[in-house]
Structure 1
Amino acid sequence: MKIQWSLIAALLFALITAVFAVINVNPVSVNLLFGTVNVPLILLIIGCSLIGGLIVGTFGIYRQYQMQKEIRSLAEELIHIRQATGYTPEVQAAEEEKKKEQQDMPVEP
């Protein structure tokens, strides 16, 4: 559901940006370090929006890579700890079964 709301918000933002860009079609002068350039404002708005989207997307991909790397590291650490202690899923199931049997047994006075 979160992805759907994110998609709706992104489409709404794109629509607002497109309408804003179409309204502002007058040429503007952009001062660069080496000179000035006359550019239609619509291209400037769309270009800056695209550059901002690329920066945010790149940051998101980088964060996702970091999280996957951390998950892999933690999974390996968990396997190492289970091997060192001898604690396996079979042992866990046996312990849970033993606890369940103890809880089900009636207490004699």
Structure 2
Amino acid sequence: MSGQWRLILALAASLVVAVFAVINVDPVQVDYLFGTAEWPLILIIIGSALLGGLMIGSVGMWRIYRLQQEIKQLRHKAEHHEQSSTDTPSPSTGLKRQEAGQETEQKDEPKA
């Protein structure tokens, strides 16, 4: 359900930006490091919104990549830990085996 609400909010925000951009079509002067130019304000607004979206999206993708790497490392550690724990019996497992062996010896002895 959360994904649907995010989509609805993203579409609503896009609609607001589009309406705002269409209303403002007058040319404006843009100053660059190497000069100036006149651009329609609609292009500046839409370009700024697209660049902002790309920046947010790239940060989100970077976080997802880092989380996937962390998951991969944790799975590898868990597999290694699981493998090492099955190779060497724990002290409690050894005690249980000894107790089980003593019980079978007691059952085999004849009662006097």
Class of the TM-score when normalised by the shorter of the 2 chains: 0.7 to 0.9
Superposed, 1:1-109 pairs within 5 Å as: 1-86=1-86
Amino acid at match of 1:35: G
Deviation at 1:83, TM superposition (A): 1.0
Deviation at 1:31, TM superposition (A): 0.6
Cα distance in 1 for residues equivalent to 2:83 and 2:36: 66
TM-score by structure 1 length? 0.77
Unaligned runs of 5+ in 1: 88-109
Q: Deviations over 1:77-97 (max 9, x none)?
A: 00111111119xxxxxxxxxx
What percent identity do the matched residue pairs reach? 51
Deviation at 1:62, TM superposition (A): 1.0
Cα distance in 2 for residues equivalent to 1:73 and 1:23: 51
What secondary structure does 2:36 align onto? strand
Cα distance in 2 for residues equivalent to 1:80 and 1:11: 46
In our comparison, the structure showing a higher alpha carbon Rg is 2
4+ long deviations beyond 6 Å = none
Q: Deviations over 1:32-85 (max 9, x none)?
A: 111111000000000000011111111111111111010010001001111111
Aligned residues: 87
Cα distance in 1 for residues equivalent to 2:33 and 2:14: 30
Amino acid at match of 1:3: G
**Please, what is the CA RMSD of the aligned residues?**
1.1
Cα distance in 2 for residues equivalent to 1:80 and 1:2: 36
Unaligned runs of 5+ in 2: 88-112
Amino acid at match of 2:58: T
- Which residue of structure 1 lines up, in the alignment, with residue 103 of structure 2? none
